Amino acid sequence: MKSMMREFKEFMSRGNVVDLAVGIIIGGAFGKIVSSLVNDVLMPPIGWLIGGLNFKDLSIKMKAPMIDASGSMTDHVVTLNYGSFIQTAVDFIIIAFAVFMVVKLVNKIKRKEEKNQTEPPKPSNQELLLMEIRDLLKNAK
């Protein structure tokens, strides 16, 4: 039991696990922000532009509700809510684009760092002059 706890502590203390946890938390919050952006900011004007349509109300009734003789509902209506699907698809596209832009930025930074690491720094004018003097002294012997 102690070895399992020690192993668990080692696992949790790794930087990757903490980074992953932070990423998941921030991703969840980002998802909520994007959902609000789509549901509350983007879709209402789009719906208004195409005739006052509310995408959440878009559905196909597959089965009507069953009502008994007393007027109470015995079976619920079954609908295919494709409007909610459209909003969720727009959410996904926005999130996917945002993730793409972040990955693109990270890759650009990594390429720049790799380029800086692979090219040795150029010697200064003083170092070049000292190398020439060294080479002349070697050839003079």
What confidence score (pLDDT) does residue 2 get?
78
pLDDT beneath 50: ranges in the chain: none
This prediction has a pTM of 0.54
Written as six digits, the tokens of 74 are: 């015995």
End-to-end CA distance of the chain: 74
Count the domains in the chain.
1
Domain that holds residue 69: 2-140
CATH of the domain at 51: 1.10.1200.120
What confidence score (pLDDT) does residue 15 get?
66
